[in-house]
Amino acid sequence: MSNSNINKNFKVNHYINEKNQSIFAGIGVAIVTPFTENNEIDKEAIYKLSDHLFFNGISYVVVQGTTGESSVLNDQEKNLVNSLFIDAFKGRLPLILGMSSNDTRYICDLISSYDFTGFEAIMSVCPYYNKPSQEGIFQHFANISDVSPLPLILYNVPGRTSCDISNNTIIKLSEYSKKIIGIKEASGDPSRVVELRKKINKDFLIISGDDFTMIDAIRNGADGIISVAANAFPSIMSDCYLSLLWEEEKNKPNIIELLPKVDKSNFILNDFFNLIFKEGNPAGIKFALKCLNLCSDKVRLPLTEISNDLKLKISDFISKTTVYK
């Protein structure tokens, strides 16, 4: 489907707005941080990638998440990346800033004195390495919400943190503070979404953080996804979301009727998901972006570029999948 048929920017997209009033519904992107061949911040690529996402249907963007390699940026580089993305998007899309630490006092001190101009919310991951109890997790996020001037989105990704935020703790946090507006749920288990949606306030955002389970998650009540794959192919991810959002409605707008029906067994990006995550994120997606002439595939140690064999497979997939062109 031609992107020109739907103005997909969330701020004017009533096809999403009619269903969900949050600016963080739809397809969000965990955006990469582009590096030059010398491994410096690539300013030109940031502007190019930002336009690519805006003009192809993305609802909002997460800066300095896992995919943005925030852990290998120093403070000066983080400030530079923030300012560049803010200037590149120029208010066209809502921006979320990733800010996380396993030291509660440190992250609270940082947030309480930080200049969040240009950002609409904070996303913070479950404390890693320490392996806190559920009470420790609750107190960590409660303390963050107490000092944060912005809404807070929790981030549950036990595959990386070795610590899982239970649904009961999520509900308890949602009741503790109205600043805690949602969760990026990346456990990979869509049944968690079903259980949480039944028990939590209907306005609390449940956002899938797993490209592989996006379809099941949205059908089970998730409000959208923060996607890695959408860095490369925002349009098809946006079309997929809109189709899922309206699939149970008998009287769809004509423009929605034109979208392809979504079947998880033949969803065209399934093979792409497997390729880009095979040797780690964001190395895979960065090579895909290189194939699309959007940025280099440079990552910083301890991450490394993907193997030549995988590069060939991703390049071949992109060259043969004409639906994206």
pLDDT digits (tens, 9 = 90+) for 84-111: 999 999 999 999 999 999 999 999 999 9
Indicate the domain borders of the chain: 3-98+188-262
Query: Whole-number mean pLDDT of the chain?
Result: 90
Is the pLDDT at 11 greater than 60? The verdict is no
pLDDT digits (tens, 9 = 90+) for 140-193: 999 999 999 999 999 999 989 989 999 999 999 999 999 999 999 999 888 899
214 phi/psi in degrees, rounded to 5 = -55, -45
- 3-98+188-262, which class in CATH? alpha beta
- DSSP β-ladder status, 95-98 and 121-125: parallel
Q: What is the pLDDT of residue 155?
A: 98
Q: What is the pLDDT of residue 218?
A: 92
Strands (E) located in 83-163? 95-98, 121-125, 152-156
Is residue 262 very low, low, confident or very high in pLDDT (cuts 50, 70, 90)?
A: confident
Q: Round to whole Å and give the CA distance between 110 and 207.
A: 25
Is the pLDDT at 261 greater than 80? The verdict is no
Q: What is the pLDDT of residue 6?
A: 45
Sign (positive/negative) of CA torsion 16, 92, 78, 147?
A: negative
Q: What is the pLDDT of residue 10?
A: 43
Query: Which residues does residue 97 pair with via DSSP β-bridges, in sequence order?
Result: 63, 122
Q: What is the pLDDT of residue 267?
A: 84
- Under DSSP, the state recorded for 50 is H
pTM of the model: 0.92
Q: What is the pLDDT of residue 17?
A: 55
Q: What is the pLDDT of residue 57?
A: 87
Is the pLDDT at 5 greater than 80? The verdict is no
Give the tokens for residue 155. 């981030």
CA angle 273, 279, 281 (to 5 degrees): 65
Is the pLDDT at 304 greater than 60? The verdict is yes
Share of residues in the chain with pLDDT > 90 (%): 78
- Please give the positions annotated as active site: 155, 184
Q: What is the pLDDT of residue 252?
A: 73
Selection from 51-60, 137-146, 233-242 with the highest mean pLDDT: 137-146
Q: Round to whole Å and give the CA distance between 90 and 13.
A: 18
Is the pLDDT at 250 greater than 90? The verdict is no
pLDDT digits (tens, 9 = 90+) for 12-57: 355 555 555 688 989 999 999 999 999 999 999 999 999 999 999 8
Q: What is the pLDDT of residue 14?
A: 56
Q: Round to whole Å and give the CA distance between 13 and 17.
A: 6
Is residue 1 very low, low, confident or very high in pLDDT (cuts 50, 70, 90)?
A: very low
Q: What is the pLDDT of residue 15?
A: 58
Q: What is the pLDDT of residue 194?
A: 93
